[in-house]
Chains A and B, each alone.
Chain A
Amino acid sequence: MKDIIFTVQSKKFLSESVFELKLHTRFTLPPMRAGQFAHIEVPDASLCLRRPFCLYQFDRHSITLVIAVVGKGTKSLSNLKRSDTVRGIVPLGNGFTLSVRHQKIALIGGGIGCAPLLRVPYDYPGREFRSYLGFSTKSGVMFCEEFEQALSVGFLNDAGGGCDGLKKSSRITVSTDDGSFGFKGYAADAFLADYKKGYRPDVILTCGPEPMIKAVQKISAELKIPGFMSGEMRMGCGIGACLVCACAVREDGQVKNKRACVDGPVFRLEDLIF
């Protein structure tokens, strides 16, 4: 992890309240992986705390964040302009780590929570991914093209091997709570519908609002499919020193307060206590 001065390379609004921010640095960034996050300074002196955002895309000299405007800090970040500078610590957190047993992977994301899942297929090429992207309504639907692209990485690399021949389109299910686009209902329900049709992933990765994580936790337990979630806890330092980001998890039969910033933000669903 390093504290780095970034320059805003581009900013693009994906919807009314969600924007994509590409930050560039001339320094070579440390290796990063899916599920890790950046802790970004807010350009407003009265807001002292940095804000955590997952690494949506990255390469050796840039990171791209997708930010939903929900309060003062994200509002202030949305006013950044090209060539403004902003400091951020990268990369933080444990990220998603899959074992070799996890060949078939279900990604279940809710809203902005889809963002950290996007990078996983790039980190694990050659595996079979299906993604379930949930939004409240049609105007909020995002990330479809990006997931198409991400999933074709795995798809292409897998073409000679054990690919199950799924068409691209059936590997991404978009759902909306009100049914105005795609599957009507929650992303977790869309996943269950596929399960009923015989889909049996080895592992589930999920990120999104708490009710969704709870629903997926239940599904994972009932169907005996292991799963990992990435949480959105409030953070202070982001580097493991202040202990304000505690997340209650079960460990060796005991309840332990783990630091979401360094021990997480990815935790096993079965360990998580709400």
Chain B
Amino acid sequence: MNLKVTIAGTEFKSPVIAASGTFGLGREYNAFYDVSLLGGIATKGLTLEPREGNGGTRIAETPSGILNCVGLQNPGVEKFVADELPFLDKLGTVIIANVAGSTEEDYLKIAERFSRTSVDCLELNISCPNVKCGGVAFGVEPASVEHITRAVKAVCGAKPLIVKLTPNVARIADNAAAAENGGADAISLINTITGMAIDYKTRRPVLGNVTGGLSGPCVKPIALRMVYEAYRAVKIPIIGMGGIQTPEDVLEFMIAGASAVQVGSANIFDPMAAITIVKGLTKLLNSCKIDDVNEVIGSLII
């Protein structure tokens, strides 16, 4: 049975990747299982300087989902490269650096820095809804998606560039095409959907940041639809995510057009989630008599 998928020349031993922001920098989950068994790990969004993130409450639960407004708390690129990358390197799985900035200059500096490190791919986060002048400013208008993609692609050297799209846009197909036109090697979607929670007793927002990003199983139908629309708009590979919790979910995303998937919130709900999905996927493919996972990519029948 073949579980390997190749995206922009990078081979993933399984199509199941840990999503940015839900997997720390890999260490925590390694205490529960061997994280090198995953197809890859996307790091927490990394900024040029260290960030302390947002104040106040950062999480709220909604039916079958969560809202978060962490606000890109991270040690900054240099500290990540010095303290965390050596550990990730030794794992022997694909390491995707999630790049977050607030200005174009930030993005370029970070991408250039990573081009000189051992990370396998860059994931351009122009879709974080939780920081004021955050990357999402670049992610909404197709023209600015194309612009920032082209600029970053020019400085990231040989590293494959994945552009992570926000679902908070008018037409996801246009943004996907814009990333492709800008030179992206792949796209990933979806980031979280902007939402809100209110405490009726205090009449105050539950989240310190007032609004936050929705994720978890409640967003899956939206995410699937967007992967499907993006697949019809671009030729570059797609990494799908949004509410994935089971091996069946993985196949659904791949049938819609994803070459690989990321598992996010499920890790927060269950520390064994990602590895359970990886193991379950083999069983599921067996029971469906599929011996190469690549067979299902984009195989939707309409």
Residues of A within 8 A of B (CB): 1-3, 41, 45-50, 87, 89, 234-237, 239-246, 248, 255-257
Contact = CB atoms under 8 A, between A and B. Distances in A.
21 contacts: A2-B32, A48-B64, A48-B66, A48-B269, A49-B59, A49-B66, A49-B268, A50-B269, A87-B270, A234-B57, A234-B60, A235-B59, A237-B268, A239-B29, A240-B28, A241-B22, A242-B268, A243-B44, A243-B58, A248-B55, A257-B73
A53 to B, nearest CB: 16
A37 to B, nearest CB: 15
Contacts of B270: 3, 41, 87
Contact of B58 (A49, A89, A237, A244): A244
A41 B270 CA distance: 9
B271 A256 contact: no
A243 B66 contact: no
B52 A244 contact: no
A2 to B, nearest CB: 8
B70 A241 contact: no
Contacts, number: 90
B61 A49 contact: yes
A contact face: mostly helix, strand, loop, or mixed:
loop
A271 to B, nearest CB: 15
B57 A242 contact: no
Given A236-B66, A244-B68, A48 B61 contact: yes
Interface of B: 21-24, 28-29, 31-32, 44, 52-53, 55, 57-61, 63-66, 68, 70, 73, 216-217, 265, 267-272
The interface centre, meaning the residue of A48, A236, A246 with most chain B CB atoms within 10 A of its CB, is: A48
B277 to A, nearest CB: 15
A251 to B, nearest CB: 11
Contacts of A41: 270
A255 B52 CA distance: 9
Contacts of A87: 270
A116 to B, nearest CB: 21
Contacts of B216: 48
Contacts of B63: 46
A1 B31 contact: yes
A248 B269 CA distance: 24
- Which of A41, A237, A243: most chain B Cβ within 10 A? A243
A240 B64 CA distance: 22
A242 B72 CA distance: 10
A242 B64 contact: no
A242 B271 contact: no
A215 to B, nearest CB: 21
Nearest to B272: A3
Main SS class of interface, B: loop
Given A239-B28, A241-B29, A243-B44, A89 B52 contact: no
B61 A47 contact: yes
B61 A241 contact: no
B186 to A, nearest CB: 24
Contacts of A49: 59, 61, 66, 268-269
A273 to B, nearest CB: 10
Nearest to A248: B55
B52 to A, nearest CB: 5
Contacts of B55: 246, 248, 257
Contact of A234 (B53, B59, B217, B267): B59
Contacts of B31: 1, 239
A162 B136 CA distance: 64
A87 B32 CA distance: 14
Contacts of B64: 45-46, 48
What are the nearest 3 A-B pairs in CB distance?
Answer: A241-B24, A244-B59, A241-B28
A240 B26 CA distance: 10
A39 to B, nearest CB: 9
A76 to B, nearest CB: 12
B73 A241 contact: no
Contacts of A240: 24, 28
Given A45-B64, A49-B269, 7 more contacts: A3-B272, A236-B59, A237-B22, A242-B268, A246-B70, A257-B52, A257-B73
A47 B66 CA distance: 9
Contact of A236 (B44, B73, B268, B272): B268
Contacts of A234: 57-60
Contacts of B32: 1-3, 239
Max chain B Cβ within 10 angstroms of own Cβ: one of A87, A235, A239, A246: A246
